[in-house]
Chains A and B, each alone.
Chain A
Amino acid sequence: QKEVEQDPGPLSVPEGAIVSLNCTYSNSAFQYFMWYRQYSRKGPELLMYTYSSGNKEDGRFTAQVDKSSKYISLFIRDSQPSDSATYLCASNSGGFKTIFGAGTRLFVKA
């Protein structure tokens, strides 16, 4: 079992929709949770990060962590075609052992 599991998709939504991207993890020691966005043939870009449980909001993006269920979520409001990319979740217990999910491909149709 991978330490961080992510549905590969693809997920296809119309422009303006609310997108929900999810991951599960198995390591109870994980304290740091990240979301990266990766456009085709580019390097990952850090989108959001949280420490421990709770929500964090940045513009149209909200990251949510539920440590009791080991569930990580990213919500995108008012999705745009420019949001079409692969989204990677990642977790870390602190110190150079970041574990990445395999990524979910998202397509936002105009």
Chain B
Amino acid sequence: NAGVTQTPKFQVLKTGQSMTLQCAQDMNHEYMSWYRQDPGMGLRLIHYSVGAGITDQGEVPNGYNVSRSTTEDFPLRLLSAAPSQTSVYFCAISTSQGEREAFFGQGTRLTVV
């Protein structure tokens, strides 16, 4: 039982490149979210999903895209990376009503140069 697994753990991108951050869970939770964590800013919600085929925007969605084709996977796509997207990204699974994030992945450290 791995919980929430994120890959890769580290990534360096050049400005303008695209990439996909992977998130997989084996806890059969319907609700999944992506956050970014920046110094002094706390965790900020990028996108979330309440189930396969259903996604919605969070607080800071610009420059990111998501899709949810299965319960297990919730990938986050950076369309054209910018230095402002340098951050640590966390995937989380939420409780059934979305009132709290129950488990987080270990994070992906992304640097855009």
Contact = CB atoms under 8 A, between A and B. Distances in A.
Interface string A30-73: 01101000000111111001000000000000000000000000
A100 B42 contact: yes
Contacts of B31: 96
A52 B96 CA distance: 18
Contacts, number: 68
Given A32-B99, A46-B102, A88-B42, A96 B94 contact: yes
Interface string B7-49: 0000000000000000000000001010100001111110010
B90 interface: yes
Nearest to B56: A96
Contacts of B40: 8, 102
Contact of B42 (A43, A94, A102): A102
Contacts of B4: 43
Given A92-B98, A98-B45, 13 more contacts: A32-B100, A43-B4, A43-B90, A43-B105, A43-B106, A43-B107, A44-B90, A46-B103, A49-B100, A96-B33, A96-B58, A97-B58, A99-B42
